[in-house]
A = this chain, B = another copy of it.
């Protein structure tokens, strides 16, 4: 199987609505919605850093797209298309069939067509770039949080990190409990409907990929504000809730790979119900920095920091 057969067999389909030219020319050609802004994000996944070499290829196909869609969700964008650049050690048909199946399933469910990309031989590396649209002035940015805003998070935090700790041998879980956290790690759900519903409601938003502390820190820095987080309020699964407190803290505050949205909104804002639980976890304050407090309001000395690819 050559390079172009590979593309045709696994990654080429008739062009979708709004796509004048899809896979197969030098560029894809898309028709923007009149007046809309274009939102663009790119994420690269490397074996051993972002996924384990043993992961089911269908789950990897899902996750590679999901983490990119999560950035569109964080900005409240409507997905319009994505490119996929793949470096593969070899053209392994079974692996490619699985990968493509997981990728297309999420692409179809999210209404986002694959419009182009690249295929090359090399150490396994997946680089996706996603495009979306939002009305002018309505993209959710990190910079809009205001003193007095409440801080909210979608879904639950920490399960993906707990699964990683099982793979690392630091935590023991079996059966259903392991399967549940493994699904959180391998099959994250991008919060696209929530992001779009938060346009005009949230003052700032981002998605949690490197851990709540670090990611929320970016939002605070961009907005020029500080915050207090309530550790007890952080939403967690029943599986995580029975782990030792230190494990819970690490998974909740610095876990990463959550792909939930954290956003700010004024008290009393009418939050959308799109079937995703939303939990109030803290408040924006004028004093710079991010304080974590326990149920009695006392500072928690967690000693944690966020994931950094060159300092971890």
Contact = CB atoms under 8 A, between A and B. Distances in A.
Interface of A: 1-4, 6, 20-21, 24-32, 34-44, 46-50, 71-72, 74-75, 77, 81, 83-88, 90-91, 115-123, 125, 127, 129, 131-132, 134, 136, 139, 141-143, 205-207, 222, 308-311
A30 B21 contact: no
A49 B120 contact: yes
**Would you list the 6 A-B pairs with minimal beta carbon distance, nearest first?**
A46-B122, A127-B127, A44-B85, A27-B39, A129-B129, A42-B83
A148 B179 CA distance: 63
Please indicate which of the listed interface residues A30, A88, A120 has the most CB atoms of chain B within 10 Å of its own CB: A120
B37 A34 contact: no
Nearest to A312: B121
Contacts of A2: 308, 310-311
Contact of A310 (B3, B75, B77, B118): B3
Contacts of A40: 27-28, 30, 81, 83, 115-116, 129, 131
Contact of A26 (B75, B84, B88): B75
A97 to B, nearest CB: 15
Given A20-B37, A30-B37, A121-B309, 9 more contacts: A1-B310, A3-B311, A6-B310, A26-B75, A27-B40, A32-B36, A44-B122, A91-B310, A125-B127
A309 B207 contact: no
A32 to B, nearest CB: 5
Contact of A28 (B41, B84, B121, B206): B41
Nearest to A129: B129
Nearest to A33: B32
A85 B3 contact: no
Nearest to A4: B308
Contacts of A31: 37-38, 136
A134 B29 CA distance: 9
Contacts of A84: 42
Contacts of A38: 29-32, 38, 131
A2 B307 CA distance: 10
13 contacts: A21-B139, A25-B75, A26-B74, A26-B206, A27-B39, A27-B40, A27-B77, A38-B131, A40-B116, A41-B116, A42-B116, A44-B122, A119-B309
